[in-house]
Amino acid sequence: MAITTLRVKRMTCEGCVRSVTRALSAVEGVSQVDVSLEKGEAVVTHADATPASALREAVEEAGYDVE
Q: In this predicted model, what pLDDT tens digit does every residue of 1-37 receive, in sequence order?
A: 999 999 999 999 999 999 999 999 999 999 999 999 9
Q: Which of 1, 45, 39 is nearest to 17 (CA)?
A: 39
pTM reported for the whole predicted model: 0.94
Q: Where are the domains of the chain?
A: 2-66
Q: How far apart are CA 40 and CA 38, in angstroms?
A: 6
DSSP letter (8 states) at residue 12: -
pLDDT at 19: 98
Q: What number does CATH give the domain 2-66? A: 3.30.70.100
